Structure 1
Amino acid sequence: MCPPAPTPKRTSRAPALMLLALAAPLWAQTSPQTTLDWHHLGGYSIEQGLAAPAGGRVDAVWFAGTQLLARTASGQIFQTADFETWQAVKAAEPKFTVTYATRLPEPGATARSLPADSGHIYALGNNLYRSEDGGVSWQNLTAFEGRSVVGGGLTGVAVSALDPQHLAVSNRYGVWHSTDGGLSWAGLNDTLPNLPVNALLAPAEGATLPRIEAPDGWAQLSPARDRWLLQNDAAASDQADRSRYGALLKAEITAAGARGENVYAGSSDGRIWFSRDGGATFSESARLLAAGRVERFFVDPDAPRIALAAAGGRVLQTANGGLFWNDITGNLPEARVHGVSADREGSAVYVATDQGLFWARADLNAATPPAAWTALSAGLPTPRAVDVRLENNNNQLFAALEGYGVYAVPAPHRAHVWRVVNAADLSQRAAAPGSLLSIQGGKVQSARAGDLTFPVLAAALSGSQIQVPFEATGTALALNMESDSRRVTLGFPLKTLSPAIFIGSDGAPVLVDADTGLTLDAANTAHSGARIQVLMTGLGKVRPEWPTGVPAPPANPPAVAAGVQAFLDGTAITVTRATLAPGYVGCYLVEVEIPAIVNAGPAELYITTEGERSNKVTIHLER
């Protein structure tokens, strides 16, 4: 972020404390031999229109005194005593008795008798039922307006021996309980590590964080980033493509990947096909013996003849569009490989396996020998990983763990590859005079371009931050940098103006309420008529001129020389000021005014200056 960061007070100084917190992950990137600074995204639950947020399948639930225990589909047992938090335990699971009922309330339902409630029998189906007369008549305990408020597929029911009005059920959507005999239900899934993630999907347009494929559709992070929101739209995943290719190839297609006209399809028995005409026709690849179920493809976006496949316990690579595949499994532990991602230019491959996450260096442009893999799962709560994905110009690594959801970390291979990116959003947008650049991959001691000196504002082994001199001109610059052990020259494009809004490590923009000094998010929304401060870089020269590398003054900071406009959902809004951010180097503060009449909910905000547009970010509004 913007160094240095003085102790904040209010209004224009308010971003300082927030910047210290958000900047930390940038410098926490470490070598792959050490524990990475993983952070959790989105919690364990999915909002999908039930009585409360749902989780993944739970196969059994039972009471033990004042505690409730649940066994998830992965076989783990968790326990809660306060019905808010769960902890993993080892416990003996009681046997459940299937009983006789005069009739069942719905086809396929099963009846159970419970020692804690000998006066009733219960039936599990798409709803929970209770009978007082041996099944002659049934009371539906979970239906409302024709549907189950806890979802279908019930797998277990329990009644507390201490309170017969306290019920609990398990189903394909998690754990639920009622303290009034079934009149109302609450979910217990927010803190139960049981998120059902099948795969990581590409971010939505304009977003930086991936979506997840869940059993009932795909989901994206909620505005508050504390849970996931189900979208019920199969278009984000490859399910429809798998079905179509399966019908064409007369095989069970378990994975598909495509870029342009290059399409790859893999089956449950380890066969791989390739297409050069968008999937209209396929040819079968030369088959590798012992390759198992194909679970995922990575297809290079710029060179789709280069692809990787996760097949059984093996990692396969092709550099000729699928005609032949090389086995690069190397020293990877024996375990099923579920996901694969790569950065071809960075010569890095990442895999998700039953034994954890691993990465290796590999030249993907030609047939690659077996790779030497390094483990990355230290610091994560469980080794079993179901998918892995690189995003944000291959600068961030995302991993999906069984039950525990999605985690993110700066991509460790960047610690060894020098690269110039925009400090605000880690993109490769052009720089502008006065803007901040992040140098990934090394500790910069000095930086120059021609006769211009670039101040080094922060430096670590994993990356550094520099400021472009206000005097810089032209359309491109060759940056010459020195570190302890090497000299590096990197070119980057230059524009007079190149605005970018700062994005935190959690994917949220750096927005502050000018009156309260509080960071804005889904929990602390912006209200109509409020003044909002947007932290940016890339707004170019200022008046009066200001020296490069010097923090802006706390009072009367220099103003942006170019005209600045702001847009909320495409409509222009008032910009009350645009200056250097007081106390910071290379950062700008744009203050905007929210209109008196707005629609409540998320809105799209972006900044323009003389035809150059910033990244689009989300701001949460209230009337």
Structure 2
Amino acid sequence: MPSQSHPPLTRRMFLLSSGTAVSVLALPKIMLGAAPVKPAVVALAFDGDAVLAAGSDLIRSDDGGSSWTALPIPAAVLALATHREQRGRILASLASGGIALSEDGGRTWEGRSRGLAAGKIDAVALAAGRPDMAYAAVRGDGLWKSEDAGQSWSLAMDRPWLNDAERDLLALVSVDLATGMGGIWIYAGTPVGLIRVPDCFCRWQDVQPGNAMDALVSGDAPPSQAPLPGGEPIHALASAPSAPETVYAALPSGVWTSRDGGVVWSQLADRFASAVAVHPANADHIVAALDGGLMQSHNGGATWSALAAI
């Protein structure tokens, strides 16, 4: 990819409440019969069996979506990340700026933005196999990483150069594939398509067959026979921890899946998708925000059912 020079980055510290945890004694239940105004869902995640949904509020269901609990997040959420090996840990980027971390399933929070660049954080992820390794996509800046669960941050990569322009990262997911450097890739959704980088942060690459070293040596490879639709923004990405080759993507054209690490894609739902998440122990159990409603599938998207209204 062509290289691009950048002006020096501005560094600014974000701290939420000076790092003080926000606590509550009891969490209100959202009454299903009250017909509340339905917010747009911008992020979904699984915390173990529990489902998290973020929009103007962050809510949690521990009963498969039959009822929901509002969580006391300090501000509206833009993105979420959880980890199979660290149940209760939730990383959230906030519309007000910065990142918050919960270690108890969302009941208390503290700021985790020290050293992170100024700007909206459009996506966050926790590394496959390394729950203390976090990634954040800063709008207008690039990909940042933390090796201590957000206690400190450093720049990992500039934004990718795609279609004659630098592109922001709208979605992030860490994928544990044998083809990556050390087995790990960071996949990113952009306004114009899918990109990825091995965790050596060597170079942004198109998703293609073969391993990371082959791609670095050969440069551009022939395009996939069945890629994601070109030119569409990718709103969300999810990798199945129990089957890392299975990846899901949420696009304006719907929910898509790949069973080979993102080389060949097929469409599962053809309605506007703003978010998608996959169960940590079941690669076929997914939830998605479709046309503003929450849907789930237990068979990899072959059939869908509606979750209770939120």
TM-score by length of 1: 0.27
Q: 1 or 2 for the larger relative contact order (CA 8 Å, sep ≥6)?
A: 2
- Structure with bigger gyration radius: 1
